[in-house]
Structures are given as C-alpha cells and as structure tokens.
Amino acid sequence: MKGNQRYEQGEAMTVQSNPTGVTTELDCSGLLCPLPVYKAALVLNKLEDGALLRLVTTDPGALEDIPAMTRQRQDTLVSVEEGADSQTFLIRKGIAS
C-alpha cells in the first residue's frame, strides 16, 4: 500500500445501535498516537452535539489520550471498556446537559 492508504483504516460507519439514536463507529485498531485522536476528532467535528461515537483502539496510550481529548475538546466520555488487547470508548459530542 502506498501513501495515505496506510492510515486510512478506520473509516467511520454509522449504525443503529441504541434506542435513542444513531451511534457512529470508528475502529482505530493498529493505529498509533496521534492517529486515533486525529481520526476521532475528524469524525467528532462532523457530528451534531449530543451524537455518540464508539471508538475502538489498540494503542495502550489511548487509555490516557482519549480522556484527555474529550476533556480538551469539551466532549463527554460516557464509558471506557478495557479488553484484552483493545479499548472501547463511548463519546458523546459536547457537554451533556
């Protein structure tokens, strides 16, 4: 693979996964810092306030980076789950009222 394709993995997909609305899914498995934050931000920038993003990462640094990202962006980290080799973050865009 050449050029941008190398980090093009992790295209956002929109799925119906909760009763109240749509959750966007982003798989950043295999990507190292700063790519999970970079790609999550690209997706979050396009979402409406209150929309949900489920982000999967394998970079161990993401456990610190994603909470830092939501704090700095003033988004809301709804939940964090740590699997054997991956982490799953549920993020709501904006500050929950």
Partner 1 sequence: MTQTLEPLSEIQPEPTEPRSRPRRIALVASKGTLDQAYPPLIMASTAVSLGWEAGIYFTFYGLDILHKDRFENLKVASLANPSGPIQLPNILGAVPGATAAATKVMRKWMSDARFPTIPEFIEMTRDLGVTFFACSTTMGVMGVEKSDLIEGADIAGAAAFLDYAADADVSLFV
In the complex, the residues that contact partner 1 under the rule CB under 8 A are: 3-4, 6-7, 9, 30-35, 37-38, 40-42, 63, 67-74, 76-84, 88, 95
User: Could you tell me how far CA 50 lies from the centroid of its own chain?
Assistant: 14
Cα–Cα distance for residue pair 66/59, rounded to 1 Å: 11
Provide, rounded to whole angstroms, the least separation between the CB of residue 87 and partner 1.
9
Smaller CB separation from partner 1, 2 or 20: 2
Provide, rounded to whole angstroms, the least separation between the CB of residue 16 and partner 1.
22
Backbone phi, psi, residue 94, to 5°: 85, 175
Residue 49 is inside which H or E element, if any? none
- For this structure, is 28 an active site residue? no
| Alpha helices (H) along the chain | 35-46, 62-73
Per annotation, catalytic residue among 12, 32, 33, 35: 33
Catalytic residue positions, numbered: 33
